């Protein structure tokens, strides 16, 4: 008989719950996006996010259980992303998960949201993918890992400033494309020429596996509006905006793909698992596929719905459950990765 896990995700601006088995097989994956609430502010407002989680989490959990056809009293373990993220937002999920685990008398399992983005690739594959190189490209993180096993994450490199997703969001704001930025930039870029602007590819020829995207964002700002700050804050009409979007997107893709290639070579591994919201970007996925084929490596990249934030990727909890790695009753929310 299967063990049923109920998982909760509230680290940023998606209120999410999922039900999966110990295999793991996902039975339900419900995500209530808060995009509508944050769009008018042009970014996620932490307090608004936390309040919305409070209002939405129980209905989202109910819906996940209903879709899975699992009653609350059949749940055998509760999993929650407790780090990293917005602390007020994380606390809502952590408090709810603790309460459920206590009331049901079942183990509570803490899952790291960044590691879970890599685990989403394992979940989608339906079989073991470790050891592998893990690449997480999200709104808050851009990190490369050596992952000998499903619970072992050795950092190979990370962004020293902005995350790739954050750069997409900021460039979208510069170009007047709205929020959330990633999908909007991808749509705009589809009609543009990626060679029109030569934007910087930071650290591309550097041996380190670290990233930097803040210079790229500034280069886009200067290309659009000039360096003197006196130019009008609007783009010339015509093809400029799609060309800027496409050239920016290509610069991000070139760096991410090349660093992932180096991580494969350095570790000698032939498996690459990619996750996080930016992994939903189609030209990026296509470039990764070409690189992996070049390197004779297998690429594991989840379908779009498992790239952006969700609770199903907390199925990494299954690995912890097998090793009896329960969370303590005083489990806290930790905003920083690795802190
Ligand atoms: O993983 P995620 O949903 O949340 C975090 O953990 O941060 O990632 C969100 C980020 C945002 O910055 C968003 O703009 C970006 O992923 N994103 C994309 C695309 N879809 C989402 N970036 C580029 N292209 C996309 N299609
Ligand atoms: Zn995420």
Closest ligand to C-alpha of residue 31 is 1
Is the beta carbon of 5 within 6 A of some atom in ligand 1? no
Q: Is 186 in the pocket of ligand 1 (CB under 6 A)?
A: yes
pLDDT at 3: 97
Q: Which ligand is nearest to the CA of 163?
A: 1
pLDDT at 40: 85
Residues lining ion ligand 2 (Cβ < 5 A) are 138, 309
Longest dimension (CA), the chain: 68
How many residues are recorded in the chain?
339
On whether the CB atoms of residues 76 and 328 are closer than 8 A, the answer is no
Question: Could you give the strand order of the β-sheet that contains 14-21, starting from the edge strand earlier in sequence?
Answer: 26-33, 14-21, 4-9, 75-83, 108-112
Around 312, how many Cα atoms within 13 Å sit in the side-chain half-sphere? 25
Ligand 1 pocket, 313 CB below 6 A?
no
Cβ-contact 81, 10 below 8 angstroms:
yes
Question: Does 145 contact ligand 1 (Cβ within 6 A)?
Answer: no
pTM given for the model:
0.96
Q: What residues of the chain score a pLDDT lower than 50? A: none
Q: For ligand 1, is residue 281 a contact (CB within 6 Å)?
A: yes
121, 141, 168, 246: residue to mutate for ligand 1 pocket, most atoms within 8 A of CB = 168
For the record, the structure tokens of 131 come out as 């050891």
Say what the pLDDT of residue 226 is.
80
Q: Which of 277, 285, 302, 335 to mutate to test the pocket of ligand 1 (most atoms within 8 A of CB)?
A: 277
177 ligand 1 Cβ < 6 A: no
Nearest-atom index, ligand 1, CA of 282: 26
300 Cα to the center of ligand 2, angstroms: 17
CA of 120 to the centre of ligand 2 (A): 11
Say if ligand 1 is within 6 A of residue 139 CB.
yes
pLDDT number for residue 180:
86
Phi then psi dihedrals of residue 78, to 5 deg: -115, 130
**For ligand 1, is residue 192 a contact (CB within 6 Å)?**
no
- Give the other-Cβ count within 10 Å of 226's Cβ: 11
pLDDT attached to residue 237? 58
Tell me, in angstroms, the distance from the centre of ligand 2 to residue 11's CA: 8
Six-digit token pair at 30?
């419900």
Of 142, 137, 136, 46, which is closest to residue 91 (Cα–Cα)?
46
Predicted local distance difference test score (pLDDT) of residue 162 = 96
For residue 59, the model assigns a pLDDT of 98
Residue 85 CB less than 6 A away from ligand 1: no
Quote the pLDDT of residue 233. 54
Ligand 1 site-directed mutation target among 182, 255, 286, most atoms within 8 Å of CB: 182
């Amino acid at each position: 008989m299967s063990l049923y896990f109920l998982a909760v995700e509230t680290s940023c601006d998606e209120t999410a719950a999922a039900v999966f088995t110990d295999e793991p097989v996902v039975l339900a994956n419900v995500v209530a996006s808060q995009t509508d609430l944050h769009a008018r502010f042009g970014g996620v407002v932490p307090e608004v996010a936390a309040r919305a989680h409070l209002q939405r989490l129980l209905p989202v959990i109910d819906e996940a259980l209903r879709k899975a056809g699992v009653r609350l009293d059949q749940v055998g373990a509760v999993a929650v992303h407790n780090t990293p993220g917005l602390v007020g937002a994380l606390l809502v999920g952590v408090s709810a998960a603790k309460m459920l685990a206590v009331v049901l008398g079942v183990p509570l399992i803490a899952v790291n949201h960044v590691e879970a983005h890599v685990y989403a690739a394992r979940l989608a594959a339906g079989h073991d993918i470790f050891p592998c190189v893990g690449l997480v490209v999200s709104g808050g993180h851009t990190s490369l890992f050596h992952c000998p096993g499903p619970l072992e994450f050795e950092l190979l490199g990370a962004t020293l400033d902005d995350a790739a997703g954050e750069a997409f969001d900021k460039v979208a704001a510069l170009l007047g494309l709205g929020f959330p930025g990633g999908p909007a930039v991808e749509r705009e870029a589809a009609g543009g020429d990626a060679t029109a602007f030569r934007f910087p590819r930071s650290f591309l020829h550097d041996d380190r596996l670290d990233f930097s995207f803040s210079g790229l964002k500034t280069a886009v700002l200067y290309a659009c509006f000039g360096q003197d700050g006196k130019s009008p804050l609007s783009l010339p009409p015509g093809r400029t905006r799609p060309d800027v979007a496409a050239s920016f997107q290509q610069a991000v893709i070139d760096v991410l793909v090349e660093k992932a290639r180096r991580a494969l070579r350095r570790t000698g591994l032939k498996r690459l698992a990619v996750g996080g919201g930016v992994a939903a970007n189609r030209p990026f996925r296509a470039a990764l596929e070409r690189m992996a084929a070049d390197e004779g490596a297998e690429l594991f990249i989840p379908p779009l719905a498992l790239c952006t934030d969700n609770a199903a990727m907390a199925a990494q909890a299954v690995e912890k459950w097998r090793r009896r790695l329960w969370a303590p009753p005083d489990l806290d929310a930790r905003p920083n990765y690795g802190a």
